[in-house]
Amino acid sequence: MSGTVLQIRDNGQITLPTSIAEKQPTEIRDLLEVSIESDGSIRLTPKCDRSFPGLLLDQALAGR
């Protein structure tokens, strides 16, 4: 499976290209869980519950 190549910026950020964002709709301030797989690949998993907007963000910020 081929993918899109992204560059990590000086501050550690990446930008999801529109072509990817349209396949997995996300909104500004959505949370993504980052997992390192056993083969070294990086997986981003949306952690958003649209029935309770902002709930997961509030919970994440409270856990800081």
pLDDT in tens, 5-39: 899 999 999 988 888 888 877 777 888 889 999 99
pLDDT value at 52 more than 80: no
3-state SS, residue 36:
strand
β partners of residue 36: 42
The pLDDT value given to residue 21: 80
Domain range list for the chain: 26-62
Q: Tokens standing for 25?
A: 């709709």
